[in-house]
Amino acid sequence: MKKYAFVPIIIAVVLFLVFVFFPNNWLKSFISDKKVQSAATELNPLMFQGDYVQKKILEEKNSFPIYGSSELARFDPFHPSNYFAANQKGFTPFLYGRGGMQSLIHFMNFASQADQLKGKKLVFIISPQWFHEEGIDDAHFSPNYSRLQAYDLVFNHSIDSKLKRMAMARLLKFNTVNRDQILSTLYKAEISNSKSLRFKADCAKPIAYLNWRLLQKKDLYYSLYGGHQRKRHQNPQLVKNKSWDKLMRSAEKYGRKQSKNNPFHISDKYYKKKIAPKINELKNYKKDTSFAESVEYKDFQMVLDLLKEKGAKPLFVTLPVNGKWYDYTGFPKEGRTSFYKKIKKQVEAAGFPIADYSVHEYDPYFLKDTIHIAWKGWVYMDRAMENHWKQ
C-alpha cells in the first residue's frame, strides 16, 4: 500500500502544472463570440475584475462600452441595452459597473486595458454620490477590487510613470492592498527613493510575477464560464422605430405608471419598501452634507488623464440627483451645484465631451428613485450615445 501513498500528491502536482503551463493562446480561442455577446448584459463581477473577456470586447469594432455603477442594473424598456437591441445602430452596448465601482476601480480597469483604448468610443457615467468627502471607502472598494489588475499595474510599462505612482500611492490607502505584502512592497518601492525598499522589491518581484501569471490563468479559466442572464424588462414594441419625441412621451407615461403614489416621482415599489417606513426620520437628515469637496475628484482626474494619454474617445455623462427628495432631506443645493460645475470643468479641461444632465434634478421620471437614472433619463442617454457614435 505504501507505494501508492504519493499517487494523489503526484496527481495534484501534475494537475497544477497543467493548470499553470497550459498555453494561454490555446485557451483564449475557447472564449467564443457567443460568450462575449452574452457578457454584454450579465454585469458579471468576474468579467469586471478580469482581463480576457474585456480584451475581446474592446477588440470588437462595434462594441460600445458603458462604464458606471449601480444604475446599469436598473433595466427597463428604455435602458440602452434594450433600446439598441430593438433599434440597431451599428453598435452593441457593453455594461461595466455595479454598486461601489467608482473612479479608482475604473482607473485600475482602464490601466489593465490601456493598449486597447486608442480610438475606442465609450461612455463613462459619473454619479454625484461618489463625491462624499472621503471618496470610496474600504466597504465599497474591497468587493470591487481586482487583485489581477493591481498586479497588472506593477508590470504595466505603457502608462505614464507619474500617473502610475499616483495610483499606487492612492491604492496603498486601502487595507485590501496593504494586506498583500508582496504587492504593497512593490508599490511602496515604486513611490519611494528608499534603497532598502527597492532591495526588498527586487527580491519580491519574481514571486509577484508568478502571482500575476497565476491570476491571469485563473481569469482565463473563469472567462470560459459565464455569469447569468438578467431579467432586462424588454419591450421592443414600446421603443422600436419611434422618434425621440414619441419615445420621450412613452417614457414619461411608463414612469408615471410606476410612481403614482408618492410626491417625489420615485418608483412606488422602492418608495414603499425603502422610504415610507422611515419617512419622518429622513427629514433634513442630510442638511450638513455636500459634494463640493472630495478625494474622488483626484481619483476621477486619474481616469481623465489615462483616457487622454491613451487616445480614447469617451462621452462623459453627469447624472443628477432627485431634487425634490434631496430638498426634503435638507441636502444644500449649493453642495450639489458645486459638484456639477466642478465635474463639467474637469471634463472639458481634458478636452472630452460631456452630457450634463444636472438641469434634470426636478424633471419627473428622469430618475427611478433618489439617484438612479431610468425611463426618461435613459432616453436622453440613448440619444447622446447615438450621436457620439455617429461622430
Mean pLDDT of the chain: 93
pLDDT of residue 10: 67
Residue 71, classed as helix, strand or coil, is: helix
pLDDT of residue 20: 59
Mean pLDDT, residues 236-250 taken together: 97
Q: Is the pLDDT of residue 306 over 60?
A: yes
Nearest to 51 by CA among 236, 216, 241, 225: 216
CA 56 to chain centre: 17
Question: Phi/psi at 96 (nearest 5 deg)?
Answer: -125, 100
pLDDT one-digit tens code per residue, 318-331: 999 999 999 999 99
Question: Phi/psi at 310 (nearest 5 deg)?
Answer: -90, 0
Q: Is the pLDDT of residue 391 over 90?
A: no
Q: Is the pLDDT of residue 31 over 70?
A: no
Which amino acid is it at 227?
Answer: G
Q: Is the pLDDT of residue 16 over 90?
A: no
Nearest to 375 by CA among 386, 363, 358: 363
Q: Is the pLDDT of residue 304 over 60?
A: yes
Q: Alpha-carbon distance 217 to 162, whole Å?
A: 29
Residue 317, classed as helix, strand or coil, is: strand
Which residues is 124 bridged to in the sheet? 67, 316
Nearest to 374 by CA among 43, 99, 72, 42: 72
Q: Is the pLDDT of residue 17 over 70?
A: no
DSSP state letters, 336-388 = HHHHHHHHHHHHHHTT--EEE-GGGTT-TTSBSSSS-B-THHHHHHHHHHHHH
Q: What single DSSP character describes residue 88? A: -
Q: Taking the domains of the chain in order of start, what are their residue ranges?
A: 2-333+344-390
Q: Alpha-carbon distance 233 to 86, whole Å?
A: 13
Confidence of residue 36 (pLDDT cuts 50, 70, 90): confident
Which amino acid is it at 384?
Answer: A
pLDDT one-digit tens code per residue, 184-224: 999 999 999 899 999 999 999 999 999 999 999 999 888 87
pLDDT of residue 222: 83
- 77, 259 in Cβ contact below 8 A? no
Confidence of residue 390 (pLDDT cuts 50, 70, 90): very high
Nearest to 124 by CA among 78, 168, 81, 64: 64
pLDDT of residue 303: 98
pLDDT of residue 229: 82
Q: Is the pLDDT of residue 178 over 90?
A: yes
Say which residue, 133 or 227, is predicted with more confidence: 133
Hey, what's the cell of 21? 503551463
Nearest to 331 by CA among 387, 278, 282, 286: 286
Please give the share of the chain, as a percent, with pLDDT higher than 90.
85
Hey, what's the cell of 323? 431634487
Please give the share of the chain, as a percent, with pLDDT higher than 70.
92
pLDDT of residue 221: 84
Q: Is the pLDDT of residue 1 over 90?
A: no
pLDDT one-digit tens code per residue, 343-386: 999 999 999 999 999 999 999 999 999 999 999 999 999 999 99
Which residues is 373 bridged to in the sheet? 367
Q: Alpha-carbon distance 96 to 93, whole Å?
A: 10
